[in-house]
Structure 1
């Protein structure tokens, strides 16, 4: 009886292996077939066609296969650049950042390195974005903005190193958007401190917004937080200075009476 059960288990395991092999084989077979009949150029063209059709998952599979099989071939740089875009469009941000960093490290003087840096910024912005929250209208401005900060640094690096890049203007606009995101985060944290009656910490967050994100729409709110916190702390001189600045720049604020 024991031997029969063992035999059944072996046959079942073999069947499962065969099933898994059959289910995963077609893509590999397609790649092998294209490489055999048309070569690397044919596989690359097939990946480009998939990219044009919006099938980024299949396109990146083919491009990744090319990249691993021909890492130093004549198509290698273009394959990697297309992979960067394909990973970005398919939401594979970890893979995208990995190949971006590899491309920049190995090709610091390549004519398209500015594009790679630009895409690094876009990819880091994508990591920070939460589509579900945006769709249902949930404000989570208090979530960790580390990837937004990294994206800001990416775009700043691009502008500083390649001021004439065709991506520089868009990078500048995105930096302004990121600054607004970072300022909103500071405001959210300041509000949290105020609810806990940590008024010194809240006022410091407000001051940080004014000093670092003075060109965003959140300066008024930062000043109002400072006025309220200094009032709670009985710091009349600091309160008066913040109120004067608020009156001068935002005369319609509800804090002004």
Structure 2
């Protein structure tokens, strides 16, 4: 009952916030409102920019600034950590403007937004290891950057996308390593070996793949499998951390 009451209060607050935002933004000509939004964007006042851009988008959905307003909203939502709204705006823009000349940038922003979903500022502050967190946003970001490189290899965002894909590869490899270690600590020896070997096949160039050999070795030793354990020791010698 308390949960429903709290949910109801939150919903009311959100509705009130949405309805009152239109009152905050003055009813001025679209050119003036757009100019004000640009000033807010340039000064990093993301919340004000979002309010003004949302007002433009709702009042003049087919106006002269329509496409640019949506592009600006994508950026402002990202900077303000309004990630679900950012992704929804990206999907809307790509659906309505599949051949737009800035679609490579939109793809790039979708990758950045998915990457941001994997970020937790409290974890950053306290330097908490996040390797065991659900990697679905990371997989989505990797797919976005891959699509960007495939469709727009000469895009000005291609090099950065390539570098980010390397970082994402390491993040995914660390997740598999954490999973293999979890199985090891639960004494699920076969599961630990399978996950370690899958990591080695999928991300062979990563440090996590080299670390997984030690998990594999311990699991083989616990199972009393001498020959696989010896082969793993040889692999460890050939692939030092």
TM-score (norm 2): 0.88
Task: Tell me the equivalent position of 2:218.
Answer: 228
SS in 1 for 2:113: helix
Aligned residues: 225
Q: Distance in 2 between matches of 1:160 and 1:235?
A: 45
Corresponding residue for 1:6? none
Is 1:57 the counterpart of 2:57? The answer is no
Task: State the 1:238 CA deviation.
Answer: 2.5
Could you report, residue by residue, the CA deviation over 1:76-129 in whole angstroms, capped at 9, with x for unpaired residues?
111111100000000000100000011111111111011111101101111111
State the shift of 1:224 in Å: 1.3
Question: Which secondary structure state, in structure 2, belongs to the residue aligned with residue 87 of structure 1?
Answer: helix
Q: Does 1:91 align with 2:81?
A: yes
- Among 167, 178, 188, the residue aligned to 2:168: 178
Asked if residue 47 in structure 1 is aligned to residue 37 in structure 2, the reply is yes
How far off its partner does 1:29 sit? 4.3
5 Å-filtered alignment, 1:180-219, equals 180-219=170-209
Equivalent residue for 1:69, pick from 32, 50, 59: 59
| Rg larger for | 1
2:122 corresponds to 1:126:
no
Which moves more between the two structures, 93-102 or 141-150? 141-150
Aligned counterparts of 1:246 and 1:116: Cα–Cα separation in 2: 43
1:244 shift after superposition: 2.1
User: Which among 9, 13, 26 is matched to residue 32 of structure 1?
Assistant: 26
Task: For residue 72 of structure 1, give the secondary structure of its aligned residue in structure 2.
Answer: coil
Unmatched segments (≥5 aa) in structure 1: 1-20
Residues 138 and 168 of structure 2 are in contact (CA less than 8 Å); yes or no, is this contact kept in structure 1?
yes
Structure 2 residue aligned with 1:163: 153
Structure 1 residues 170-215: Cα deviation after superposition (integer angstroms, max 9, x where no partner): 1111111111111111111111111110011111111121111122
Alignment match, 1:142: 132
| 2:100 pairs with 1:100 | no
- Residue 240 (structure 1) aligns with: 230
The unaligned stretches of length 5 or more in structure 2 are 1-15
> Considering only aligned residues, what root-mean-square deviation do their CA atoms show, in Å?
1.8
Q: Secondary structure at the match of 2:182?
A: helix
Aligned to 2:6: none
Structure 1 residues 50 and 225, CA, compared in 2 at 3 Å: closer, same or farther?
same
Q: Return the alpha-carbon distance in structure 1 between the equivalents of residues 99 and 219 of structure 2.
A: 51
Tell me the SS of whatever aligns to 1:71: coil
Residue 225 of structure 1 and its aligned partner are, at CA, apart by 1.2
